């Protein structure tokens, strides 16, 4: 009987010690069974849905979370449990964000709610050192968030013979030059290729922290990445739409694969 009385407290002490370890282990497994990607806007239109389809074609096990249709405070809470941020294409960013509010009338559609959301997500992602991928508008808003500016309207503000936007947005393309030894070059293993194009704005003054990693022949910036990546999280942004390109295009799936690879690394740490 005495031995039983001594044995019970020992069991309880061991149980109280091991239980937190058990739950921590379970939570770790649950979190990383699948990668969770925050997408700044992923629905309802078909062209937004393509982003999730593109990532899931690379890895069908990932979970995608549409941040746009969640209240900002809730979105930021959910975001902390994500493993990567994809900033998608879309309407023009309010030019007042880069001290050119006087140019608002020359912009197309502006979504102020989305601007607020994406600036908050970028800030949080950088604090967390979470992998970031920007596409089209995603490249532009990243540049603005870090202190850069945009060309408000390429046809009127930039001297070029290259058509960057067509009426048939799914059949407009031009060639690009990828900078040798850049991160983009290492991911896509190409220096010259055709990409699609659907934008009337582009990076103008590049933020100091970034370097251009791709251009068109008219010298317009087509991709950006960290100038000094040491100690920073993965970040790459492109002006074209890789989610619309064919699977054999080196400017498409290799980018998704590398982004998800970095998200997996982030999820493990």
Active site residue 243: yes
Picking from 226, 215, 220, the residue whose alpha carbon sits closest to that of residue 201 is 220
C-beta of residue 136 within 8 angstroms of C-beta of residue 89 = yes
Helices (H), the chain: 2-32, 46-58, 72-79, 112-128, 137-145, 154-157, 183-188, 253-268
Catalytic residue, chosen from 82, 188, 241, 262, is 241
Picking from 69, 7, 54, 94, the residue whose alpha carbon sits closest to that of residue 252 is 54
Active site residue 139: no
- DSSP assignment of 18-75 equals HHHHHHHHHHHHHHHSS-EEEES---SSHHHHHHHHHHHHH-TT-EEEESTTS-HHHH
Catalytic residue, chosen from 52, 118, 222, 243, is 243
Question: H or E element: which one contains 214?
Answer: strand 210-215
Token pair for 35: 């990668």
Token pair for 83: 């493993």
Catalytic residue, chosen from 82, 107, 136, 188, is 136
CA gap 113, 72 in Å, rounded = 9
C-beta of residue 162 within 8 angstroms of C-beta of residue 217 = yes
Size (the chain), residues? 269
- Residues with a catalytic annotation lie at 136, 241, 243
């Amino acid at each position: 009987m005495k031995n039983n009385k001594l044995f019970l407290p020992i069991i309880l002490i061991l149980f109280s010690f091991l239980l937190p370890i058990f739950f921590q282990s379970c939570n770790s497994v649950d979190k990383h069974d699948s990668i969770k990607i925050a997408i700044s806007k992923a629905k309802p239109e078909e062209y937004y849905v393509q982003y999730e389809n593109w990532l899931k074609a690379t890895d069908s096990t990932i979970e995608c979370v549409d941040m746009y249709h969640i209240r900002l405070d809730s979105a930021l809470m959910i975001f902390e449990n994500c493993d990567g941020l994809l900033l998608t294409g879309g309407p023009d960013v309010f030019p007042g964000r880069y001290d050119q509010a006087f140019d608002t009338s020359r912009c197309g559609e502006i979504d102020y709610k989305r601007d607020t959301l994406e600036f908050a997500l970028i800030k949080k992602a950088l604090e967390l050192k979470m992998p970031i991928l920007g596409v089209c508008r995603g490249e532009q808003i990243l540049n603005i968030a870090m202190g850069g500016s945009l060309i408000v309207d390429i046809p009127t503000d930039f001297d070029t013979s290259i058509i960057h936007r067509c009426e048939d947005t799914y059949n407009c393309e031009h060639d690009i030059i990828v900078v040798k030894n850049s991160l983009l070059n290492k991911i896509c293993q190409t220096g010259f290729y055709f990409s699609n194009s659907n934008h009337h704005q582009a990076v103008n003054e590049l933020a100091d922290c970034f370097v251009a990693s791709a251009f068109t022949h008219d010298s317009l910036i087509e991709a950006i990445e960290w100038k000094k990546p040491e100690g920073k999280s993965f970040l790459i942004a492109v002006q074209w739409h890789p989610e619309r390109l064919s699977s054999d295009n080196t400017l498409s799936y290799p980018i998704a694969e590398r982004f998800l690879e970095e998200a997996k690394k982030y999820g493990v740490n």
